[in-house]
Structure 1
Amino acid sequence: MSTNLMYWGVSLITDIQERLQDYSGFMIFLSSVGDPRFAFTIYFPVAYSLHRFVGIRVLLAAVISEWLNAVLKWVLHGERPYWWVHQPGLYPEAAVPQLRQFNITCETGPGSPSGHAMITSSVWYILVSDFLHYKHVQSNATRFLCWSIYFLLICAVSLSRLFIAAHFPHQVVAGVLSGVILGQILNSVPISALRPFHYMALTAGLSLFAWATYCLLQLLGLDPLWSVALATKWCTLKEWIHLDTTLFYSLVRDVSSLAGLSVAVWLLSGKRIEKPAESNSCIITAMQIALALSVSLAAENYKPAHDNVLLFYTIGFIKHCLTVMCIVAGISLLFDRPRPLKERQTMDDES
C-alpha cells in the first residue's frame, strides 16, 4: 500500500481526534456496537428468536465474514496507525504524530481490511434485507429510510475505528465494500435447503483453508504473528492487549460456532422443527429473546485465564460451540412445534 496514502490517513485520523475529542466516550460506544463479538452475542440470538432462517443466515454471515477477514489480514499484511507511526524512517523523531490510544485500540491482528466494518456491514445487510423481505415492505420511502439508516450506522462505526487509531481510512472502506458484497451473496443462500452435512463440510473447509494459508505464509518465510509483537510494543498500556483480539481466536470462534450449528441442526433434523418464531405471541417471542441473550451473554462474560494459551483457545472453542448449540437446538425444542408437511413445503418456498 502506498506510503503517501498512509501518511494522509494519519493526518486525517489526527484531525478527527482533535475535532471529536469531546465525544471520545460516544466514539468508543460506536466502535463497541460494531464489535464482531456483537454479531455472535447479540444479533444472532435476537434474530434467531424472531425468525429461525434469518438467525442462521446472520450466524453464517458473521462466521464467513470474520473468517474471510482473518485470511485477508494474513495475506494483505496491513499496518495499524497506532503502531505504524512509530516505525523507523517514517517521521523525524521529534515529529512523530501523537495518536491517542484507548482501551479498545490495541487489537493484535493486522489492519486490512477492517473487521468491524466488514463483519458489521455484512451482518447488518442481512438484517435489513431480510426485514424488508419478510415484512413484505413495498414502500420505496420505507425501503430508502431503512437503507439510509444502515448506511449512516456503517459510516458511524467506520468513523469510530478511525478515531481510536485502529485503522487507516482505506482499510475501513475495503471492509465495508467487502462486507456488503458478502452480505448480498449470502442473502441468496436458501437456508431451508441446508442440511447438517453442508454445515459440517463448511466447517471442515474453512478450517483446512485457514490452516493451509497459515502454513503457506510460513513456507514463504513470512510470520503470520508479526502484528502481535508490534501491538505489544506500541500499545500504551499492556492490559489493553487481549488474546481474544488475535486472528487465531477469531478463527476458533468461527469454526466452533459452525460446529455447534452443525450439531444443533443434526439434533433437530429428525424432529422436523422448522417453524419460524414470527407466528408466536409477543410474550413468547420476548421469552425466547431473553433466554437466548442470557445464554450468549453468560458465555461471553466467562473469560478463561490467559496463562495457558492452548487451554484458553480450547475453552473458547467449547464455549462458542455449546452457546450456538444451546440457542439453536434449545430454543427450537422449547418453543417450536412440528409442522405438517404441506406447511413445511410452503415455508421452504418462502425462504
Structure 2
Amino acid sequence: MHFSSTSLLPTAFTSLQGKKFCGLPACQSGSMLILHGERPYWWIKESDNKLPSLNQYRLTCETGPGSPSGHAMVTAAVLCTVVFAYIRLSKARWYKPWCCWICFALMMLAAGVSRCYIATHFPHQVVAGTLTGVAMAMIFLKVALKDVSLKTYILLVIFIPVSSVLTSAVIRMIGLDPDWSIAKAMKWCAESQWVHPDTQPYNAVQRDAGSLLGYGIFVSIARSSRSFQSGDSSNLFRLVHIILSLLIAQVIENIKPKVSTEMYYLITFLKFGLLVNIICLIPLLIGRRKINSDKNS
C-alpha cells in the first residue's frame, strides 16, 4: 500500500489539481476484516496438499487478511480516477480514451502479477481488489469532498477508527479472532523483521483517518483565506508540484520510529494528515507568493 499512498496518490492529486481526485476514501480495511481472506505465503504452509514451497521477499509478509487486495484496490481507484479525469478534461479524440484504458489495464496487470509473484495475494483477490477500486472511483467521483465542512471531516475521522473497533468487537463476539492474520504472519514469515506494523489493518485505518483530516484542514484553510489562490496550472507548474509532493511523501513515509504499537498508530495518523495537508497546500502557497510578488512589482 505504501507505493500507492506515497507515490500514486501525490502524483494523481497534483497532476489533476485536485479537481476530480478528492472523492477517493479508503475502505479496504473494513472489507479485509470481514472477508477473512488467506494469503498464499501462509496458506501453503498450512495446506495438507503436497504443494511446492513459495519464495518469500521483503514485501511478502503483510499482516492483514488478503481479500480483497488493498494494493490493487487503491491502485485501480487512483488510476481509474486519473483516466476518467483526463478523458473529460482533455476533450480527447475518439481513439485516446481507448489508449488510456489499455494503459490502465496493462498497469493493473503488472500490479496484479507482482502481488501474486511475491506470494502476497491469490489471483482472485487481485481481481476483486481491482473491480472494487474501479467501483469506488466511479461512485466517489460524483462526491465533491471539497464542499464538505470541516465539522463533517472531523466526525468522519472519529467514525472511521470507532467503526473499526466496533467491527473487531463484533467479530470477537461471534467467536472469531480479528487479529488471526497477524498471528499467521508472525508464524509463517521467513524473516521476523519483514513483519511490520505498517501492513496491519488498524494502521491502515489510522492512515485513512489522518488523510481525511489533512484534506479537511486544507479545505477549511482554502475557504477562509481568500488571499490563497491556486498557482499556475501549466505543465511545468504541475511537474514541480509532483516532484515536491513525491519528495515530501518519501521523507514523511521514512519516519518509522521504534515505539509501542499504539504510539505507532498515532504517528501514522499524524504523518498522513500532515502529508495530505502539505501536498494540497503547495499550489496555494506558491499561488499566494506569486500574487504578492506581482503586487510588489
In the superposition, the TM-score normalised over structure 1's length comes to 0.76
Q: Distance in 1 between matches of 2:169 and 2:289?
A: 47
Check if 1:74 corresponds to 2:39.
Answer: no
Equivalent positions of 1:207-286 (< 5 A) are 207-272=161-226, 279-286=232-239
Specify the alignment match of 2:7 in structure 1.
Answer: 42
Note if contact 1:273-1:332 (Cα within 8 Å) is conserved in structure 2: no
Q: More deviation in 42-51 or 207-216?
A: 42-51
Relative to structure 1, the CA distance from residue 337 to residue 109 in structure 2 (aligned partners, 3 Å threshold; closer, same or farther) is: same
Relative to structure 1, the CA distance from residue 52 to residue 304 in structure 2 (aligned partners, 3 Å threshold; closer, same or farther) is: same
Q: More deviation in 213-222 or 106-115?
A: 213-222
Matched residue type, 1:211 = V
Q: What is the percentage of aligned positions where both structures have the same residue? A: 33
Where 1:312 maps in the other structure, the secondary structure is: helix
Equivalent positions of 1:150-189 (< 5 A) are 150-189=104-143
Specify the alignment match of 2:295 in structure 1.
Answer: none
Q: Distance in 2 between matches of 1:160 and 1:44?
A: 19
Specify the alignment match of 2:99 in structure 1.
Answer: 145
Q: 2:73 aligns with which of 86, 102, 118?
A: 118
Where 1:98 maps in the other structure, the secondary structure is: coil
Q: Distance in 2 between matches of 1:302 and 1:54?
A: 30
Check if 1:314 corresponds to 2:269.
Answer: no
What is the CA distance between 1:72 and its match in structure 2?
1.1
Check if 1:290 corresponds to 2:243.
Answer: yes
Note if contact 1:304-1:312 (Cα within 8 Å) is conserved in structure 2: yes
Specify the alignment match of 2:62 in structure 1.
Answer: 107
Q: Distance in 2 between matches of 1:192 and 1:109?
A: 31
Check if 1:334 corresponds to 2:293.
Answer: no
Relative to structure 1, the CA distance from residue 334 to residue 219 in structure 2 (aligned partners, 3 Å threshold; closer, same or farther) is: same
Q: Distance in 2 between matches of 1:268 and 1:281?
A: 20
Where 2:71 maps in the other structure, the secondary structure is: helix
Specify the alignment match of 2:17 in structure 1.
Answer: 52
| Consecutive unaligned residues in structure 1, runs of 5 or more | 1-35, 340-351
Relative to structure 1, the CA distance from residue 134 to residue 272 in structure 2 (aligned partners, 3 Å threshold; closer, same or farther) is: farther
Check if 1:84 corresponds to 2:49.
Answer: no
| Consecutive unaligned residues in structure 2, runs of 5 or more | 292-297
Where 1:85 maps in the other structure, the secondary structure is: helix
Where 1:119 maps in the other structure, the secondary structure is: helix
| Residues 289-311 of structure 1 deviation map (CA, whole Å, 9 limit, x = unaligned) | 23222221110122211x42222
Matched residue type, 1:44 = L
What is the CA distance between 1:76 and its match in structure 2?
1.1
Matched residue type, 1:184 = M
Note if contact 2:69-2:126 (Cα within 8 Å) is conserved in structure 1: yes
Where 2:46 maps in the other structure, the secondary structure is: coil
Relative to structure 1, the CA distance from residue 257 to residue 43 in structure 2 (aligned partners, 3 Å threshold; closer, same or farther) is: same
Matched residue type, 1:224 = P
Matched residue type, 2:287 = F
Matched residue type, 2:197 = L
Q: Distance in 1 between matches of 2:145 and 2:31?
A: 26
Note if contact 1:46-1:293 (Cα within 8 Å) is conserved in structure 2: yes
Matched residue type, 1:43 = L
Note if contact 2:229-2:287 (Cα within 8 Å) is conserved in structure 1: no
In the superposition, the TM-score normalised over structure 2's length comes to 0.89
Q: Distance in 1 between matches of 2:16 and 2:94?
A: 24
What is the CA distance between 1:78 and its match in structure 2?
0.8
Note if contact 1:106-1:235 (Cα within 8 Å) is conserved in structure 2: yes
Q: Distance in 2 between matches of 1:273 and 1:176?
A: 41
Q: What is the count of residue pairs matched by the alignment?
A: 291
What is the CA distance between 1:116 and its match in structure 2?
1.1
Relative to structure 1, the CA distance from residue 102 to residue 273 in structure 2 (aligned partners, 3 Å threshold; closer, same or farther) is: farther
Q: Distance in 1 between matches of 2:66 and 2:7?
A: 24
What is the CA distance between 1:331 and its match in structure 2?
3.5
Matched residue type, 1:120 = T
Relative to structure 1, the CA distance from residue 192 to residue 337 in structure 2 (aligned partners, 3 Å threshold; closer, same or farther) is: farther
Where 2:211 maps in the other structure, the secondary structure is: helix
Q: Distance in 2 between matches of 1:178 and 1:119?
A: 9
Where 2:143 maps in the other structure, the secondary structure is: coil
Relative to structure 1, the CA distance from residue 272 to residue 55 in structure 2 (aligned partners, 3 Å threshold; closer, same or farther) is: farther
